[in-house]
């Protein structure tokens, strides 16, 4: 028998209790820690699992949202205006020529293993991050962090690097600080085995396919002003919950059902189809914000997409609004800028004439310049989510332009593997979340899957990284984005929004490019 719960406006959640029972979450959450200390346990439902929480080497969004600022902290971070401000650094300084960055460390900051953060830990962490993160490695060259004294570290560049603090503060592969010992202890994949940070929560347990559990770190040393909370990612953190569970719940209907029945306190990934239900339910709060861009990433090493003319033909055929609406429903905006609305300084209209052209006739003309033989274009996309709907819309658009296509749908972990092998696909879909500087857009890196190894693109990116001022960097970015819409490392389809929902008994949440629980409380 299916159970139905009447909701405001005559809406129903189908089938509510049956879905929860089948998923196992009623029994799983009704016992154990939640049953004993429910008032101090926060349960969050998320839709996907990360291969690792090693943020130096892993750009998966869910890993960053679990770990950044909660398990780990950085030398500097971002406030709500996207300004770079100190975190584990007491202060930082850029030399007048832009070539030397100095960071004076906070003293007495404890790691989760009981040791105290030292300059040696900071240099080991920052140099491992540089070695692991191609944009940082490209900007740093041979430069690495050095210990100057017990509470001072420094990095010297061969050329100006005025955007490097922004990179440290907001990189998708986060520049988190851990112990030197943890940096050296890696598994066979090269990921850290120990998740040891300085944040207000410590890593406690990972049940693969089920949940990740964090515990409040009783020795956490806060910074900022007590009682004022955080500004963006920066400031005073004082969680009022003892344990924080991130439950893997791929099915959107199960997440929202668990939220409405009280099994979960937070639905981290509200599906567009569930938006009317969330809006119509008393006692549930929600927040929506522009989170990043959806893109088609071209395989430029082999196959038809290695030909720029073919990429231009495909781009000419695209109706971005149809694709975005198919994937995100009402939760999207159109726009050609590689940088999102939240990054006002960097937002650009350069190259917008190439965006959303919806012109199959032009696509056919451009296709004549290629050697395309009519074989199906292989498009790789992932679950969970609804990107397959967008790919179906794309395939219909390409058919009108004379390009046949086929879709392969795999889970997100498989896509992360498959995209490294150029023989497996011609295009893959990917979301790219907001970053504070354009050089952090992963698809501009020649080593990132898709392989944008164009010499002119590389020169423009090098000019941006070596700019002597932010104004000069902005001019470099204008030239880079204009060229990118001709070269087409990706097709930027538009901006997607992310919606989080939680029961109104949850307080103290931080919303800034994600939802964070470092000041969370339950009433």
What gap in Å lies between CA 337 and CA 432, rounded to an integer? 13
Mean pLDDT of the chain: 91
pLDDT of residue 8: 37
H or E segment and range at residue 137: helix 134-140
pLDDT in tens, 241-262: 999 999 999 999 999 999 999 9
494 Rama class: left (phi>0) / alpha (psi -120 to 50) / beta = left
What number is the average pLDDT over the span 436-464? 92
**pTM, 2 dp:** 0.78
**Three-state SS at 503:** strand
468: pLDDT strictly greater than 50: yes
pLDDT of residue 379: 98
Q: If you compute the radius of gyration of the chain from its CA atoms, what whole number of angstroms results?
A: 23
Q: Are 238 and 226 in contact (CB under 8 A)?
A: yes
Domains along the chain? 5-47+200-283+504-522 (3.40.190.10), 76-184 (3.90.76.10), 290-498 (3.10.105.10)
The upper half-sphere exposure of residue 40, i.e. CA atoms within 13 Å in the direction of its Cβ, equals 10
pLDDT of residue 412: 85
What gap in Å lies between CA 7 and CA 19, rounded to an integer? 17
199: pLDDT strictly greater than 90: yes
What number is the average pLDDT over the span 455-469? 90
Peptide bond into 90 cis (omega under 30): no
pLDDT of residue 16: 46
pLDDT in tens, 219-232: 999 999 998 889 99
Q: Are 475 and 452 in contact (CB under 8 A)?
A: no
User: Which of 502, 504, 503, 485 minimizes the C-alpha distance to 493?
Assistant: 485
2: pLDDT strictly greater than 50: no
pLDDT of residue 128: 98
Q: Are 437 and 167 in contact (CB under 8 A)?
A: yes
75: pLDDT strictly greater than 70: yes
Select the more confidently predicted residue: 215 or 25.
Answer: 215
Confidence category of residue 290, pLDDT binned at 50, 70, 90: confident
What percentage of the chain carries pLDDT values higher than 90? 75
pLDDT in tens, 120-176: 999 999 999 999 998 899 889 999 999 999 999 999 999 999 989 999 999 889 999
Burial label for 71, CB within 10 Å (0-12, 13-18, 19+), is buried
343: pLDDT strictly greater than 90: no
CA 380 to mean position of chain CA atoms: 19
12: pLDDT strictly greater than 50: no
């Amino acid at each position: 028998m299916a159970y139905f719960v009447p909701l405001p406006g005559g809406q129903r959640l189908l089938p509510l209790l049956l879905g929860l029972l089948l998923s196992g979450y009623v029994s799983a959450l009704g016992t154990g820690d939640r049953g004993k200390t429910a008032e101090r346990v926060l349960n969050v439902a998320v839709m996907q699992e990360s291969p690792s929480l090693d943020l130096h080497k892993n750009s998966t969004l869910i890993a960053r949202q679990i770990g950044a600022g909660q398990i780990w902290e950085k030398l500097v971070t971002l406030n709500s205006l996207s300004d770079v401000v100190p975190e584990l650094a007491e202060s930082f300084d850029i030399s007048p020529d832009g070539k030397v960055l100095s960071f004076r460390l906070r003293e007495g900051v404890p790691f989760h293993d009981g040791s105290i953060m030292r300059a040696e830990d900071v240099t080991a962490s920052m140099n491992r991050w540089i070695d692991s993160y191609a944009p940082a490695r490209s900007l740093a060259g041979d430069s690495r962090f050095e210990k100057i004294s017990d509470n001072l570290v420094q990095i010297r560049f061969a050329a100006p690097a005025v955007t490097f603090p922004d990179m440290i503060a907001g990189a998708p592969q986060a520049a988190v600080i851990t112990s030197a010992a943890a940096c050296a202890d890696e598994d066979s994949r090269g990921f850290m085995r120990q998740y040891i940070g300085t944040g207000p929560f410590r890593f406690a347990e990972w049940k693969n396919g089920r949940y990740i559990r964090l515990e409040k770190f009783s020795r956490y040393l806060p910074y900022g002003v007590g009682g004022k909370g955080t500004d963006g990612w920066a400031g005073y953190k004082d969680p009022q919950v003892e344990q924080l569970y991130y439950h893997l719940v791929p099915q959107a209907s199960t997440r929202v059902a668990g939220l409405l029945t009280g099994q979960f306190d937070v639905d981290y990934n509200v599906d567009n189809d569930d938006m009317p239900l969330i809006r119509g339910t008393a006692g549930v709060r929600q927040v929506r914000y522009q989170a990043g861009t959806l893109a088609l990433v071209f395989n430029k090493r082999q196959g038809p997409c290695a030909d720029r003319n073919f990429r231009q033909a495909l781009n000419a055929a695209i109706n971005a609004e149809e694709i975005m609406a198919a994937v995100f429903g009402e939760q999207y905006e159109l726009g050609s800028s590689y940088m999102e609305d939240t990054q006002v300084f960097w937002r650009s209209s350069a190259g917008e004439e190439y965006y959303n052209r919806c012109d199959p006739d032009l696509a056919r003309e451009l296709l004549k310049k290629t050697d395309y033989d009519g074989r199906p274009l292989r498009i790789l996309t992932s679950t969970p989510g609804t990107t397959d709907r967008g790919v179906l819309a794309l395939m219909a658009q390409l058919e009108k332009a004379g390009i046949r296509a086929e879709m392969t749908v795999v889970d997100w972990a498989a896509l992360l593997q498959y995209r490294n092998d150029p023989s497996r696909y011609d295009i893959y879909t990917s979301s790219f979340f907001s970053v504070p500087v354009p050089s952090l857009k992963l698809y501009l890196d020649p080593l990132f899957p898709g392989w944008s190894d164009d010499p002119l693109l590389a020169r423009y990116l090098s000019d941006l990284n070596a700019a002597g001022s932010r104004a000069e960097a902005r001019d470099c970015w204008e030239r880079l984005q204009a060229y990118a819409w001709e070269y087409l490392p990706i097709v930027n389809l538009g901006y997607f929004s992310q919606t989080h929902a939680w029961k109104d008994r949850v307080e103290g949440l931080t919303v800034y490019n994600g939802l964070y629980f470092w000041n969370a409380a339950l009433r």
